[in-house]
């Protein structure tokens, strides 16, 4: 057992997230996404929804601050009447954890599939909402600021 790691995250996903470097991408897919045929590395989280999983992931996973939009969703196909309200949950969580208010870009369906196929890992969820697929670009964990380090050094002297 480990402390402070959300129990919803399976060990294999933690391993894959740890292996990822700056700019690598992680894809959360809904239950309809062809994850097996697109994944280089696949982690199954069939009984979990994407919002629950995103909440747990963002506690550990930094988003890329060197790009304008470090997250992407699949655009609604023209003529499809679906309104993906789940995107609001994604926006809210990203803003909560990363303080980014406009982090989502919108990828055409087949462009999304192509990008997902190049991702470091695809996480197949049991999410039933349509258009619940999400790509996250991993960022950098910065060292403590030099002023914070200076404060620590002065306190220890």
> Which has the closest alpha carbon to 136: 46, 53, 48?
53
Query: Is 22 an active-site residue?
Result: yes
Counts of helices then strands in the chain (DSSP H, E): 6, 6
**pLDDT tens for residues 113-142?**
999 999 999 999 999 999 999 999 999 998
pTM: 0.90
**pLDDT tens for residues 24-74?**
999 999 999 999 999 999 999 999 999 999 999 999 999 999 999 999 999
Among residues 5, 11, 22, 67, the one annotated as catalytic is 22
């Amino acid at each position: 057992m480990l402390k402070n790691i959300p129990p919803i995250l399976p060990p294999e996903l933690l391993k894959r997230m740890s292996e990822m470097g700056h700019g690598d991408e992680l894809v959360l897919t809904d239950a309809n996404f062809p994850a097996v045929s697109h994944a280089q590395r696949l982690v199954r989280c069939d009984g979990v929804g994407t919002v629950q999983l995103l909440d747990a992931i963002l506690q550990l996973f930094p988003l890329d601050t060197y790009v304008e939009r470090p997250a992407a969703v699949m655009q609604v196909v023209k003529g499809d009447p679906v309104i993906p309200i789940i995107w609001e949950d994604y926006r809210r969580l990203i803003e909560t954890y990363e303080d980014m208010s406009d982090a989502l870009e919108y990828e055409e369906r087949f462009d999304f599939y192509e990008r997902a196929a190049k991702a470091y890992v695809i996480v197949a969820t049991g999410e039933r909402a349509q258009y619940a697929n999400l790509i996250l670009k991993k960022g950098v964990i910065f060292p403590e600021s030099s002023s914070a380090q200076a404060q620590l050094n002065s306190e220890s002297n």
